[in-house]
Amino acid sequence: MEKILVGLKRVVDYNVRVRVRPDNSGVETDGVKMSINPFDEIALEEALRIKERGQAQEIIVVSIGAPEAQQQLRTGLAMGADRAILVETAEAVSPLMTAKLFLALIQREKPGLVILGKQGIDHDNNQTGQMLSALWDRPQATFASKLEINGETARVTREVDAGLEVNEIDLPAVVTADLRLNEPRYVKLPDIMKAKNKPLDVITRDELVTAATADIQPVTYEAPTEREKGVMVEDVAGLVTALKDKGLL
Amino acid sequence: MSKILIIAEHTNDTANASTAKCIQCATEIPNAEIDVAVFSDNGESVANEIAKMDGVTKVIRIEHDANSNPMAALIAPQVISISKGYTHIFGPSTTFGKDLMPRVAALMDVNQISDVMEILDSHKFKQPIYAGNAIVTVEAPTTVPVVATVRIASYRAVGSSGSAQIESAELDIDLPSHSRFIGIQAATSDRPDLQTAAKVVSGGRALGSEENFEIIYDLADSFGAGVGASRAAVDAGYVPNEMQVGQTGKIIAPDLYIAIGISGAIQHLTGIKDAGTIVAINKDAEAPIFEVADIGLVGDLFDVVPELKAALG
Ligand SMILES: Cc1cc2nc3c(=O)[nH]c(=O)nc-3n(C[C@H](O)[C@H](O)[C@H](O)COP(=O)(O)OP(=O)(O)OC[C@H]3O[C@@H](n4cnc5c(N)ncnc54)[C@H](O)[C@@H]3O)c2cc1C
Ligand SMILES: Nc1ncnc2c1ncn2[C@@H]1O[C@H](COP(=O)(O)O)[C@@H](O)[C@H]1O
């Protein structure tokens, strides 16, 4: 295939312990470390490997969001992507709108494959890939832990609740990456320098999609209820007694 | 009045526990009439089982050879074909529902709510975000149907003293041929299912090998518990992927959860927040798991676990 499109979402880094703002208006993102969504790094790594096997020519990374998402796109270029597109928008974008924006890009770029993460670790939506493939009227293979491209089709191993499921899908299609698909490479300093010269196009949301969607509105945010402080026991006998006291044995 | 359609998850023989929990969630919507759709190749026994579940008005059987193994790309257009008139369409937040429901929502041109954990009214819900570190209340537009997945760990299963009618729906749509089910590799075990077990024992990276993980199975078997694991234990190949508990694995709510050699990363804790009692066994007294544990024991698991098994057995 010629092109693979990869989504890179800018999210709060997975090591950050996210806190709700005191006024319940959202979560604290000021001064918090932002990174590429971990599943998207895996998605990009997979695309790069497909290209390195000679099964694709060009990897395009896409981010939808604030101008700052250029940082994540630059990291993607340093990892090895050929080109980047930022769809700039000031407001929050719902998964349905994200899927519509990706679809508009698909119509421009005509990729043979789109690889997204299985979920954004910010809102834990787990929706965009499924929505995109529905709108595109193409196959979806979610939660992929293995991906094999065989000409016009792909064989995908998917991590499902019961175990590992294997699907065969016609291309083009949407695949969403799970944790065990691969281990993303580290970016090397010379690659960061080289990435500065790779193309990064900025387009506005309105250039792609003008109609609005009926969105689900956040009303208020709260911290989860904390568990009460527990007890420490000295030894196994103490543990067994504590369990018996709670009626668990 | 709300008219709710629930997409049943089942094995073709029996309903998955997630189905009865989704129904419980739907019953919490005021003034609701609840129908359940069973997509299968032969759903008679599943339909009979669901017809007995409390709160169900009608079970709709949709039969097609292509439904023997559910694939979202094939089920979604079938859901659309029977969706007319419903104000809400719910599915479980299991891999089955997560795969399917956003596809259904997009075909209807609506957004989807993930992981409903509490119903406030017919269009107002609570859901966890950021690995459960925040809970957001959201309001869905009333002008379009609500499509949502239900966080099954937040709900108990409905009882089974009902008697709903069962109807068959004819399909007059062509299903796509672009997606094909090849097979599934599922571990068979006599242990209680991780997602419904009352007691679960989990092991982490500290186990060190597939062989060493046997002591976790032995302990679990000595008191009839299900077995789970941290991501690190799955990544290292000690246990299969379906045993992963956490943000990106299974979210569970057993009465008793015993975490052994697991540090307690936020992504893991997300999966066990609703457990009744959390027990942690770890040799590092500073491990974050102790911050959430109800009962903590500092010690080397290779000493503690055999001793605990002996004490229980
Ligand atoms: C996007 C993303 C999603 C993730 N999703 C999940 C998820 O769904 N589930 C999940 O679990 N993780 C998930 N993780 C990984 C998570 O961040 C942690 O890396 C993981 O949970 C660590 O597993 P662990 O506790 O087994 O290993 P470690 O963190 O290495 O902890 C091992 C523990 O064992 C203790 N120990 C060592 N030897 C002994 C001994 N002999 N006796 C007793 N104790 C001992 C140590 O003190 C330590 O506390 C995710 C990460 C990311 C980035
Ligand atoms: N704003 C965005 N920019 C780029 N990719 C995105 C964006 N939102 C979602 N995606 C992609 O869709 C995947 C699933 O996201 P979500 O449905 O929000 O959980 C992510 O892992 C990304 O690959």
Q: Tokens in use for A236?
A: 């196994």
Q: Transcribe A80-132 into DSSP letters.
A: T-SEEEEEE-SS---HHHHHHHHHHHHHHH--SEEEEES--TTT----HHHHH
The pLDDT score that the predictor gives to residue A229 is 82
Give the DSSP letter of residue B285: T
B44 alpha carbon to ligand 2 midpoint, in Å? 39
The pLDDT score that the predictor gives to residue A228 is 84
Contact A133 B73 (CB under 8 A): yes
Residues of chain A short of pLDDT 70, as ranges, are none
Asked whether the beta carbons of A185 and A79 are under 8 A apart, the reply is: yes
- pTM of the model as a whole: 0.96
Q: How many residues does the structure list for chain A?
A: 249
Asked whether the beta carbons of A5 and A26 are under 8 A apart, the reply is: no
Probe residue for ligand 1, chosen from B98, B243, B263 as the CB with the greatest number of ligand atoms within 8 Å: B263
The pLDDT score that the predictor gives to residue A226 is 85
Say if the ipTM goes beyond 0.90. Answer: yes
Does residue B246 have its Cβ closer than 6 Å to ligand 1?
yes
Asked whether the beta carbons of B302 and B214 are under 8 A apart, the reply is: no
Probe residue for ligand 2, chosen from A41, A128, A132, A200 as the CB with the greatest number of ligand atoms within 8 Å: A128
Helix, strand, coil percent values for chain A (each to nearest 5): 30, 30, 40
Q: Name chain A contacts of B71, Cβ cutoff 8 Å.
A: 167
Amino acid at B145: P
The residue whose CA has the least distance to atom 8 of ligand 2 is A9
Triad B284, B289, B294: Cα angle to 5°? 110
Q: Name chain A contacts of B295, Cβ cutoff 8 Å.
A: 230-233, 239, 242-243
Q: In whole angstroms, give the CA distance from residue A125 to residue B111.
A: 11
Q: Name chain A contacts of B136, Cβ cutoff 8 Å.
A: 218-222
Q: How many residues does the structure list for chain B?
A: 313
Amino acid at B286: E
Q: Could you tell me the CA-to-CA distances from A145 to A75, A161, A194, B63 in Å, in that order?
A: 23, 13, 30, 30
B18 alpha carbon to ligand 1 midpoint, in Å? 27
Domains of chain B (ranges; CATH) run 2-168 (3.40.50.620), 199-312 (3.40.50.1220)
Q: In whole angstroms, give the CA distance from residue B219 to residue B216.
A: 5
The pLDDT score that the predictor gives to residue A211 is 84
Q: Which of B99, B110, B274, B301 to mutate to test the interface with A (most CBs of A within 10 A)?
A: B99
Q: In whole angstroms, give the CA distance from residue B142 to residue A214.
A: 9
Does residue B288 have its Cβ closer than 6 Å to ligand 1?
no
Return the bridge partners of A154, or none.
A149, A169
Nearest ligand to the CA of A124 is 2
Q: Name chain B contacts of A119, Cβ cutoff 8 Å.
A: 248
The pLDDT score that the predictor gives to residue B25 is 98
Chain B nearest-CA residue for A153 = B178
Chain A to chain B, count of Cβ pairs less than 8 Å apart? 255
Residue B297 burial by CB count (10 A; 0-12/13-18/19+): exposed, middle or buried?
buried
Mean pLDDT by 10 residues, chain B (313 residues): 97 95 97 97 95 98 94 98 97 98 98 98 97 96 97 96 94 93 88 93 98 97 96 96 94 96 96 96 97 97 96 84
Q: Could you tell me the CA-to-CA distances from A117 to A17, A46, A56, A138 in Å, in that order?
A: 21, 11, 19, 17
Q: Which CATH class is domain A3-245?
A: alpha beta
Q: Tokens in use for A146?
A: 């293995």
Q: In whole angstroms, give the CA distance from residue B262 to residue B280.
A: 8
The pLDDT score that the predictor gives to residue A72 is 97
H-assigned helices in B152-288: 214-222, 231-235, 266-269
Asked whether the beta carbons of B230 and B245 are under 8 A apart, the reply is: yes
Q: In whole angstroms, give the CA distance from residue A214 to residue A208.
A: 18
B242 alpha carbon to ligand 1 midpoint, in Å? 16
In the stretch 39-68 of chain A, residues with CB closer than 8 A to chain B read none
Q: Which of B10, B116, B129, B195 to mutate to test the interface with A (most CBs of A within 10 A)?
A: B129
Pairing mode, strands A140-150 and A153-160: antiparallel
Q: In whole angstroms, give the CA distance from residue A117 to residue A138.
A: 17
Contact A218 B137 (CB under 8 A): yes
Of the candidates B4, B194, B26, the residue with the CA atom closest to the CA atom of residue B118: B26
